[in-house]
Structure 1
Amino acid sequence: MINYRPIARVVSILLCIVGVMMWTGLPFSLYFGEDSRPLLLAGLTSIAMGGGLFLVKSPKGIPIRKREGYLIVALSWVAMTLSGMLPYLYSGMIPSVPEAIFETVSGMTTTGASVLTDIEAQPRGLLYWRSLTQWIGGMGIIVLTVAVFPLLGIGGIELFAAEAPGPTSDKLHPRISETAKRLWFIYVGLTGLLTVLLMLFGMSPYESINHALTTMATGGFSTRNASAAAFGPAIQYLLILFMFFAGVNYTVLYLSLKRRWAEVWKSDELKAYIGLVVLLTLIVTAKVYYATGGADFEQAFRDSLFQIVSLITTTGFVSADYTSWSTSLTLIFFVLLFLGACAGSTSGGIKLIRHLVFFKNSYLEFKRIIHPSAIVPLRVNRDVVPGKIITHVFNFLLLYLLLFVLGSVILAMMGLDFMTSIGAMATCIGNVGPGIGSVGPVDNFAWLPAHIKLFLSFVMIVGRLEIFTVLVLFTPYFWRLN
């Protein structure tokens, strides 16, 4: 039987945290002479909702089992969406509930798709909150709460497994709360470092904070209508570097800080990540350079590298309209919407480790055909991958593909054209941001009808929580008493 008391307790803590984090935008509203009441009232509302749930009594020492863990994750994202959209509604910045839900879900899931047509005209305090929603969702606010679970008398291992990005969550420390603290230490540290570097490179302090938040979250919200194209080459190269860092497994980043290089280079996924970025950059740069008549090699290289890293890491920043380059390059960038960076990073998408397992196992299948009696194990990072993991990966890939096809058909039935349907579905389930068709890198989602925005909001949450976490709630097995 599902125990709802610890669920209410955890969701209440999350709502209070979100409410307090809203108030961090008040200094910006006051400094720029804007109305600070929307953020103030939204924070109070969120804390009041959390306080009401916190009154539900829960004895100490109650473990969170798998069912409670998955329910907490799903309900937390619903609660954070309902709370996170309040500043938009209270201020009138986004007066429509479906659009406010879409913008909030896009932020919390680090997708980066937006319904705002003139970003630079919006209040700066609210734009900061918009960026902060991506930073909150980047690592997952659930992981932050896991770090304080000992204070609540609740165990957090099942919750961490449900929320942590990627098919695996390598532990940096035997205690799950210590792991969460170390992850957030790296996350906060890199965000602070990028903020300082952006200011040194000429970006204003306000914009530096916003872009650091959304870069490390691999989110892609910007304070400029032109996104990263509004800034010079030096800033774009800096964003490329930190987007790349944000796409690396945080365990690998931790090992790098400890200078344990042998363990770092043991990662097959990291090697594939670096190799893929290098290979694609060479191909796309050559194509763009010759397509423009060899006018500016540095520009072709920078635009190609920027868009490749931005899409692979699912950040979604835009420095150029890649759909205008050529049909073949548009197809390449469309495929990138399905990749994702490393597991254990803040990026969305399928994740490279799953692709590695799939291609390695498919290659070994030829050997098994020639030697049917031989035992040919699949190895990743020199370790044998259990059959259960291989089955899970194949099931995930098939389900991901089926959801993409089904969602694209649904969008087409709702009235979207073919290119826009597949582009919107691919970018939302992969939490990327820009797609193809009428939701390309220079477009936004403001023109979509309300029911399509709500459908895509659900798709973004399914993609962010890696499909199974959400869809398991719709199975009869989950709700059975035994």
Structure 2
Amino acid sequence: MNKSMVRYLLAKLLIIEAGLLFIPLIVAFIYHEPMKVITSITGTIGLCLLIGLAGNAVKPKNLHIYTKEGLLIVALVWVMWSFFGALPFVFAGQIPSIIDAFFEVSSGFTTTGATILPDVSVLSPSLMFWRSFTHLIGGMGVLVFALAIMANNKNAHLEVMRAEVPGPVFGKLVSKLKDTAQLLYIIYLVMFAVFTLILFFEGMPFYDSLIIAMGTAGTGGFTVYNDGLAPYHSSLINYTVAIGMLAFGVNFNLYYLLLIRKFKAFFGDEELRAYLLIVLSATVMIVLNIGHLYSSLAQTIEYSFFEVSSIITTTGFGLLDMSKWPLFSQFVLLLLMFIGGSAGSTAGGFKVARAVIVSKIARTQALSTLYPNRLFAVHVNGQVLDKKTQHSILKYLTIYLLIFLAVTFCLTLDTDTFMTAFSGAASTFNNIGPMLGTTDTFAIYSPFNKFLLSIAMIAGRLEIYPMLLLFLPKTWSKL
């Protein structure tokens, strides 16, 4: 274990978080906010800089990172950034409980969008901005962002980026890892900027456009109002956001293929086709099921398409009370919670790629039973998927389900409604946001369960393994 490198990178990342906090500080000055809010942000910046500079004082002699260090750094930095990112809310008194603030910021960085706030108007503009800004940072990954601006250290950060980028397989787009990180973030930020301008030109205030665009780009779901997008009363905005969520739920590697004009590879991607087919199928089923609830077919399609886009991309933007929908439609949305978006996107969930592969493995096993003397292979995008990757996906599914059931079990201590506990676990672990079967926020849960759900959100965003490492005794016995 290269302890010095772990310490060095964590300290450097804390300095980066201090730098990011200057942006909400500027917002505080623009809106002439009370000194208490300004000092809460500056105090957090000072604390981050003090600890970061102290840990960064001595550069390690060995800059190499192995898989274990990479996983540990990823897990620790997400917990660390969430804790220090929560401090402005506590210092300002707008979320007095550190557990509640940690939950809120964990929800932000992991792009979950779950909240303990029954009324978001208690937040000042700067802290509301910081809350949503965490979506933008966490969307592509805090370490992908850091790697894009940090020295490459002879490609030593490969294990860090491999541990953070969501999906069954991580690959570099270009020869240098740092260039890959920069390219991903350029594509991501350009799409965010374009989306912000579109919302602004559609009539949304610029501040609101930034908040909604950050929630959409990070597929997070924090908004300016308690009712989500409903206060804007605009079908155009609803459709724009729905399409935007779907766009950010696509594997960003495919956008690179578009840039280099490999259109056949883009449109021929199996995961993309499955992703769009699932959206279409779910929308049609819900339209047919809830048609009697609304005055027109156009309104039914609008609401159905928006909620399907919001849930499958794990964004969780609110538009209406889904608890009033028939059980069938709620169950369709519950299934979408587990499927999630594409691998390599900002969306959470199990990922469409894994769902496609698991279904192909099941089909292959069934055919092998019928034809025991034949050999069957699993193909993805025309290539044979090796047994090692197949086994790793099935192992991931097993661990995924066990952790989900454990979280659900704990939540039943605080609620008598099974749908609330089940969807609460699904919502946080899959980084979605809203619960089904209730209009309550996550404030209904005990401090223990709020902390548990915070860890579940981070584990779901990092796809379990980095966070599991924190709870293995062997990890710490060798330090």
TM-score, normalised to structure 1's length?
0.95
Which residue is 2:443 aligned to?
446
1:143-292 to 2 correspondence within 5 Å?
Answer: 143-150=144-151, 152=153, 155-231=156-232, 232-292=234-294
Q: Deviations over 1:57-86 (max 9, x none)?
A: 312x62110111011001101210121011
Per-residue deviation, residues 197-229 of structure 1 (Å, max 9, x unmatched): 111000111111111111100000001111012
| Distance in 1 separating the partners of 2:125 and 2:112 | 20
Q: 2:370 maps to which residue?
A: 370
Offset of residue 170 of structure 1: 3.0
Indicate the residue corresponding to 2:20 in structure 1: 21
Secondary structure of the 2:343 match is coil
- Could you tell me which amino acid in structure 1 is paired with residue 218 of structure 2? A
Which deviates further from its counterpart, 269-278 or 403-412? 403-412
Offset of residue 419 of structure 1: 2.1
Residues 414 and 444, structure 2, Cα contact 8 Å, conserved in 1: no
Q: 1:11 is matched with which residue?
A: 10
Query: Residues 393 and 290 from structure 1, CA distance in 2 versus in 1: closer, same or farther, beyond 3 angstroms?
Result: same
Aligned to 2:129: 128
- Equivalent residues in 2 for 1:32-431 (5 A)? 32-35=31-34, 36-59=38-61, 62-150=63-151, 152=153, 155-231=156-232, 232-292=234-294, 295-414=295-414, 416-431=416-431
Q: Name the CA distance, whole Å, in 1 between partners of 2:408 and 2:191.
A: 37
**1:460 matches 2:436:** no
After alignment, is 311-320 or 442-451 more displaced? 442-451
How much has 1:274 moved relative to structure 2?
Answer: 0.7
**Alpha-carbon offset, residue 95 of structure 1:** 0.6
The separation in 2 between residues aligned to 1:470 and 1:121, in whole angstroms, is 32
> Secondary structure of the residue that 1:114 maps to in structure 2?
coil
Q: How far apart are the structure 2 equivalents of 1:410 and 1:41?
A: 36
Which residue is 2:437 aligned to?
A: 437
Q: In structure 1, the residue corresponding to 2:183 is in which secondary structure?
A: helix
* Partner AA of 1:182 in structure 2: L
Comparing 412-421 with 215-224, which one deviates more in the overlay? 412-421
Instruction: Give the 3 Å change call, closer, same or farther, for CA 45–153 of structure 1 in structure 2.
Output: farther
Shift of 1:149: 4.3
Q: Which runs of 5+ in 2 are unaligned?
A: none
8 A Cα contact 1:9 1:53, kept in partner: yes
Task: Spell out, residue by residue over 1:142-163, the C-alpha distance to the aligned partner (whole angstroms, 9 max, x if none).
Answer: 0122234435566111111101
Identity of aligned residues (%): 32
Contact 1:323 1:329 in 2 (8 A): no
SS at match of 2:338: coil
Residue pair 1:64, 1:154 contacting (<8 A) in 2 also:
no
- Indicate if the aligned counterparts of 2:414 and 2:445 stay in contact, CA closer than 8 A: no
Per the alignment, residue 470 of structure 1 pairs with: 467
Contact 1:215 1:239 in 2 (8 A): yes
Secondary structure, counterpart of 1:76 in structure 2: helix
Q: SS of the counterpart of 2:311?
A: helix
